[in-house]
């Protein structure tokens, strides 16, 4: 598979600072290797040929590390001079994307999935956007997603009762032309201003994947990250 990805790596990482304070969150070490380096290596092994890193906060450290530690994949940078929110950061990075469809991932999460199958479903359905969904036993922490019989997303539900359900796993395939024309300008949220507001008039599909999920955004989840090293290194 030849494909491109945008990785959101510009957040402030405030929740993790009690555990990792000397580097930006994507460079948090997992068994001595920065999480971002492991993620980039994983994408390279999965057939991705280029990545645009959407960076901002302490981006100099990210550039310095990757310039001296090759990861087997072409890396370009989209640098925010001012924080643009997740949606604004993706839209800025889209200016450096060459193809029609691009994956978008978070620089502090890992989702084990079949990227080729997700991309094929996205193209087969002619979707504007495809969201990777996974099931959890307690959706109250995340909110949940409702889909119809054809996997089209019909509703996003805010954090609610403790119950099993589909949740957004934070991996997307986005049609570049649609995003550049339909999305807002300036500072905006991918979740609140795109997913919640545009799914009624756009074709936003769900891709179901039950693979493992890691979020290093809190000290508790970061402490548990070492058990994912074998998955990240495949």
- Tens digit of each residue's pLDDT (9 = 90 or more) over 13-54: 454 444 454 567 788 888 888 889 999 999 999 999 999 999
Confidence of residue 214 (pLDDT cuts 50, 70, 90): confident
Average the pLDDT over each of 187-191, 196-200, 202-206 and give the range with the smallest value. Answer: 196-200
Contacts of 227 by beta carbon, 8 Å cutoff, 6+ apart = none
At 105 the three-state DSSP class reads strand
Confidence of residue 226 (pLDDT cuts 50, 70, 90): confident
pLDDT (average), residues 130-142: 80
Q: Distance between CA atoms of 212 and 134, rounded to whole angstroms? A: 9
* pLDDT of residue 5 exceeding 60: yes
Q: Distance between CA atoms of 197 and 183, rounded to whole angstroms? A: 10
Q: Are 92 and 10 in contact (CB under 8 A)?
A: no
- Give the pLDDT score at 1: 55
* pLDDT of residue 151 exceeding 90: yes
Number of domains in the chain: 1
The residue among 18, 31, 108, 19 whose CA lies nearest residue 62 is: 108
- Give the pLDDT score at 159: 64
Higher per-residue pLDDT: 14 or 149: 149
H helices present in the chain, as ranges: 35-45, 59-68, 85-93, 115-124, 176-182, 196-198, 219-223, 229-232
pLDDT digits over 156-192, tens only? 876 666 567 788 899 999 999 999 999 999 999 999 9
The DSSP-derived string for 1-49 is --EEEEEE-----GGGTTT--SS-GGG-EETTEEHHHHHHHHHHHTTEE
The CATH number covering residue 140 comes to 3.90.550.10
Supply the DSSP symbol for 152. B
SS3 content of the chain, % helix, strand, coil (to 5): 35, 30, 35
Which residues constitute the domain of residue 216?
3-232
Is the pTM here over 0.95, yes or no? no
How high does pLDDT run on average in the chain?
Answer: 87
Q: Are 128 and 194 in contact (CB under 8 A)?
A: no
- Give the pLDDT score at 40: 95
Query: How many CA atoms are closer than 13 Å to the CA of 88, on its beta-carbon side?
Result: 15
Confidence of residue 140 (pLDDT cuts 50, 70, 90): low
The residue among 190, 133, 195 whose CA lies nearest residue 164 is: 133
Q: Are 49 and 75 in contact (CB under 8 A)?
A: no
- Give the pLDDT score at 19: 42
Q: Are 93 and 105 in contact (CB under 8 A)?
A: no
pLDDT (average), residues 75-81: 94
């Amino acid at each position: 598979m030849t494909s491109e990805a945008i990785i959101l790596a510009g957040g402030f990482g405030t929740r993790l600072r009690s555990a990792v304070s000397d580097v930006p969150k994507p460079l948090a070490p997992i068994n001595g290797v920065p999480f971002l380096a492991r993620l980039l290596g994983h994408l390279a092994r999965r057939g991705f040929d280029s990545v645009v890193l959407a960076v901002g906060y302490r981006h100099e450290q990210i550039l310095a590390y990757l310039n001296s530690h090759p990861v087997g994949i072409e890396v370009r940078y989209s640098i925010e001079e001012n924080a643009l929110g997740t949606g604004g950061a993706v839209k800025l990075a889209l200016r450096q994307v060459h193809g029609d469809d691009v994956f978008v991932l978070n620089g502090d999460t890992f989702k084990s999935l079949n990227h080729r199958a997700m991309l094929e479903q996205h193209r087969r359905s002619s979707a504007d956007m495809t969201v990777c969904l996974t099931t959890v036993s307690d959706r109250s922490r995340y909110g949940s997603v409702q889909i119809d019989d054809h996997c089209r997303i019909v509703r996003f539900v805010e954090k609610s009762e403790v119950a099993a359900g589909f949740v957004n796993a934070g991996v997307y395939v986005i049609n570049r032309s649609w995003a550049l024309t339909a999305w807002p300008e300036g500072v905006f949220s991918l979740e609140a201003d795109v997913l919640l507001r545009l799914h009624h008039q756009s074709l936003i599909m769900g891709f179901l994947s039950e693979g493992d999920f890691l979020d290093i955004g809190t000290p508790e989840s970061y402490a548990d990250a070492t058990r994912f090293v074998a998955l990240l290194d495949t």
